[in-house]
Each structure stands twice: as C-alpha cells, then as structure tokens.
Amino acid sequence: MKLLVTGGAGFIGSMFVRRRMAARPDEKLIVLDALTYAGNLASLAQVKGFEFVHGDICDQPLVERTLAEHQIDAIVHFAAESHVDRSILGPMAFARTNLMGTATLLECARRGGVKRFLHISTDEVYGDLGPNDAPFSEQTPIAPRSPYSASKAGSDHLVRAYFETYGFPTLITRCSNNYGPYQFPEKFIPHMILNALSDTPLPIYGDGQNIRDWIHVEDHCAAVERVLEAGRPGEVYNIGGRAERPNLEIARAILEALGKPESLLKFVTDRLGHDRRYAIDDRKIERELGWSCARRLDEGLAATVKWYQTNDEWCRQVRSGEYRKWVTLNYDNRDGT
C-alpha cells in the first residue's frame, strides 16, 4: 500500500509513522505536513524510510501533485489545528485547515482515485456530557461547542458526504483525549509535567472537575491501524481509553509521581465554553475489529512522566522555540523571503 499521512510531524501522526515504519519498513509512506508550530521533525528523527513533503493540505496543486507522483492508494488524515484554547483566540485558522484543508484533500483524493481515506476526528464533535449521561456512541448527535470541535465536526460532515454522494471510500475515527511522548506542551498533561518539573504553578481551569477520558497515543494509533486495515467504508468508529478522570486528579498524580508539592496547583479563570465531561462508548470497534485499549492509565501516565523527564533536549527545544529553526533554515528562506 502507498500511504499518505497528513500531519505526520504532529503528536499522534508521528507516533503512527514511528509504529508503521517499525512494523513495515518496506511500505511506501509519505508524510505531508505544513510544519506549523505543532509540527516537529525531531519527533521523526529516529525513523528511516519515509518521504517528507513540506506543504499545506489547503494547497490543491501541491496535494494533487503529491497524490499523482507517489501513486497514493490510501490516506490517513491527521493534519489539523488541534488545540481548543487556540481556537478560542483565533478560530479562522481552524476553519481554514480543518474545513478547507479536509475539503481540498477529499476532492483531490476522489479525483485521484485514492482507494481508502481515513479521517482522524475527535470525540469533541459530540459536545459535552453531564455527570450521569451515557458515554458518546457513534449514534450520538453531533453537537460541537468550541471553534475547534465545530471545525472538526464540519470536516466529519464533508467526509460523510463524500461517501454518500460519490461512494468515495471514507472512514472516520473519533478518539478521546490522547497523552504520551512527543505531545506539544500546550496540552494538559505535558503542560502539567513540564511545569511541575520546573517548579512553575500548574494552571487548573475552573474547579478542576472537568472530566476527560484518557488514552495512550500508542493505543489510539493501534486502533487507527485496525480501522485502516479492516474498517467498513462509510462507518464511524469511536476510540476511547475507558479511563475517565477529573483534571485535578491527573494533576495531583503528576505531582505525586514527581515528588512535587500540591501547593504548585493554581486554580485559574475557566476556559470559555469549557466542555464538562467526555466519555466514549467504544464497543463497536471492539466488537467489529477486535481492538481494545491495552494500556492502563496509571502505567501510561507514569511512563509519560518519565519520558518528559528523560527527553529534556526535545522538551528544551520545544519550549525555547529552537525546534522552529529547522523550518526557518530549510523552508522559510528558500525563496529569499
């Protein structure tokens, strides 16, 4: 299979590429990534054998050329603007990449005869839950509440429309909150770990009782591979960690793992429109494709804390902005601009 992975230099995409290339070193795999602030080729530094195309999924000629040149059979589409707080501050980038980018990719892929299009979505498209509500199933109506989740929901609708209208073989996965190595430290868990390591206060939004269902990024990627292999076109598959926790409990566990005091916890002004609870019913993927989450949250979290402790060079470069130097040297100056 000739595979195009969009967003392969991001947190989840890079885990997918690392796993895939380790398991199938002879497969042709192309990463298409714009290297926004969230893209980091250092996350792929140990991986050999893939080809990298630096480009924007909104750039139709580039996408067309990439699909044709490499005779792509299948696309796994991770590329997105992915952080809720940023979507509140600047929603237009989310509309552009998540909606227009996905539309561009779909249209080029359909015209280019791509045989399988796996769209990586999120549980956040379902909105939020009260404490006693049943977890989100694939039948739960879409009801996004942030510009991020609304733009992802829009992209899901486009993907579904391409299946219904053109019979284009699409698949959608909707996963809960990921954690693990190489996650950009604007997200909750790495943010808490790095602040704790540097004895900086840990900002807890609101009362810290918002609940997320945490899944290790390797478990998510294993599920994505199963759907790519055996998922039924036109279908949606929820993916979850069956590990609902309030944010405060996670922050406390991180402090404890690092031997840091609870006095580092700092309650701050809540996020606008902050979703209260996410929970996932992932029985469909278990029943149909035999996937279930393998890692326990306490073990995965301990390993993740250790990873951030021992990979201080990756963390230092990300925090200082030095990781952007590579992009500047290789691309930003290439036209003398």
Q: Is 205 a catalytic residue?
A: no
Catalytic residue among 33, 56, 81, 124: 124
Q: What is the 3-state secondary structure (H, E, C) of the chain?
A: CEEEEECCCCHHHHHHHHHHHHHCCCCEEEEEECCCCCCCHHHHCCCCCCEEEECCCCCHHHHHHHHHHCCCCEEEECCCCCCHHHHHHCCHHHHHHHHHHHHHHHHHHHHCCCCEEEEEEEHHHHCCCCCCCCCECCCCCCCCCCHHHHHHHHHHHHHHHHHHHHCCCEEEEEECEEECCCCCCCCHHHHHHHHHHCCCCEEEECCCCCEEEEEEHHHHHHHHHHHHHHCCCCCEEEECCCCEEEHHHHHHHHHHHHCCCHHHEEEECCCCCCCCECCECCHHHHHHHCCCCCCCHHHHHHHHHHHHHHCHHHHHHHHHCHHHHHHHHHHHCCCCC
Of 290, 285, 247, the C-alpha closest to 265 is 247
Cβ proximity to ligand TYD: between 19 and 271 the closer is 271
Query: What token pair was written down for 227?
Result: 């759907």
The entry of ligand NAD, ligand TYD, none near residue 265 (CB within 5 to 8 angstroms by kind) is none
Virtual torsion, Cα 148, 38, 97, 54, nearest 10 deg:
-170
The entry of ligand NAD, ligand TYD, none near residue 182 (CB within 5 to 8 angstroms by kind) is none
Cβ proximity to ligand TYD: between 152 and 226 the closer is 152
Closest distance of CB 86 from ligand TYD, Å? 9
Q: Build a one-symbol-per-residue string for 294-333: x at contacts with ligand NAD by CB under 6 A, - elsewhere.
A: ----------------------------------------
Looking at residues 7 to 66 of the shown chain, list those that interact with ligand NAD (rule: CB under 6 A): 7, 9-13, 33-36, 38-39, 56-58
Q: Build a one-symbol-per-residue string for 69-108: x at contacts with ligand NAD by CB under 6 A, - elsewhere.
A: ---------xxxxx--------------x---x-------
Looking at residues 124 to 153 of the shown chain, list those that interact with ligand NAD (rule: CB under 6 A): 152
Cβ proximity to ligand NAD: between 54 and 115 the closer is 54
Tell me how many residues contact ligand NAD (CB under 6 A): 30
Catalytic residue among 33, 123, 225, 275: 123
The entry of ligand TYD, ligand NAD, none near residue 212 (CB within 5 to 8 angstroms by kind) is ligand TYD
211 lies in the site for ligand NAD, by CB under 6 A: no
The entry of ligand TYD, ligand NAD, none near residue 84 (CB within 5 to 8 angstroms by kind) is ligand TYD
The entry of ligand TYD, ligand NAD, none near residue 33 (CB within 5 to 8 angstroms by kind) is ligand NAD
Q: Do the beta carbons of residue 240 and residue 175 sit within 8 Å? A: yes
Cβ proximity to ligand NAD: between 66 and 195 the closer is 66
Q: Is 225 a catalytic residue?
A: no
Cβ proximity to ligand TYD: between 191 and 295 the closer is 191
Pair type for strands 74-77 and 236-239: unpaired
Q: Is 308 a catalytic residue?
A: no
Catalytic residues: 123-124, 148
Site residues for ligand NAD per CB under 6 A: 6-7, 9-13, 33-36, 38-39, 56-58, 78-82, 97, 101, 120, 122, 152, 175, 177-178, 184
